[in-house]
Copies of this chain bind each other. A is one copy, B any other.
Amino acid sequence: MLKMIFDRWDGSIKNCDTLVNSLTDEQLQKEIAPGKNRGVYLLGHLIAVHDDMLVFLDMGERQYPEMHKTFIDSPDKAVEQIPSAKELRERWSKQCNELKQKFASLQPEQWLEKHTAVSAEDFAKEPHRNKLNIILTRTTHLTYHTGQLALLK
């Protein structure tokens, strides 16, 4: 069961990574559709959301705390200065590797422990709100935006 869910996470990360690597910096600067988010914003958004996973999974501090404000709290173009496509690519690659290592360090039973955003009381009633569920919900979030980034090709 763990393998199924991590296969889906790993496969979705790989698909997105392959896609991002196939796009030029110029393509990433474009809007995915007229008036919609730019590729760079979506890439930054994914990095910020995956950075938050560290906190939910109790795996340490965010690596890029300032990205939460720019890429989650704010819509695209609300913040003038955002990291370059080159910088975002570097963070993305580094983060994918780091998450992979951190995820591999947990024992199977630890994935069934509660994540940090649910209280012990609620967790007793809803044991499916575990760490593994964070992986699952972020996988569908990732594929949602990968479908959008694919339009830049």
Most buried by B among A4, A7, A139, A150: A4
A146's contact among B4, B130, B137, B147, by CB below 8 Å, is which?
Answer: B147
Chain B residues with CB below 8 A from A34, complex form = 33-34
Give the Cβ gap from A151 to chain B, nearest Cβ, in Å.
Answer: 5
Number of chain A residues close to chain B: CB under 8 A: 28
Report A24-55 residues with CB < 8 Å from chain B CB. Answer: 32-34, 36
Q: Nearest Cβ in chain B — how far from A143, in angstroms?
A: 4
Q: How far is the CB of A93 from chain B (nearest CB, A)?
A: 21
Chain B residues with CB below 8 A from A3, complex form:
128
Q: In chain B, what residue has the closest Cβ to A127? A: B3
Does A147 lie within 8 Å of B143, measured CB to CB?
yes
Interface residues of A in 106-153 (CB under 8 A from B): 128, 130, 132-133, 136-137, 139-141, 143-148, 150-151
Chain A interface residues toward B at CB < 8 A: 1, 3-5, 7-8, 12, 32-34, 36, 128, 130, 132-133, 136-137, 139-141, 143-148, 150-151
30 pairs, A vs B, C-beta closer than 8 Å: A1-B1, A1-B132, A3-B128, A4-B128, A4-B130, A4-B133, A4-B136, A8-B136, A8-B137, A8-B140, A12-B140, A32-B33, A32-B151, A33-B33, A33-B34, A33-B151, A34-B34, A36-B151, A143-B143, A143-B144, A143-B147, A144-B144, A144-B147, A145-B147, A146-B147, A147-B147, A147-B148, A148-B148, A148-B150, A148-B151
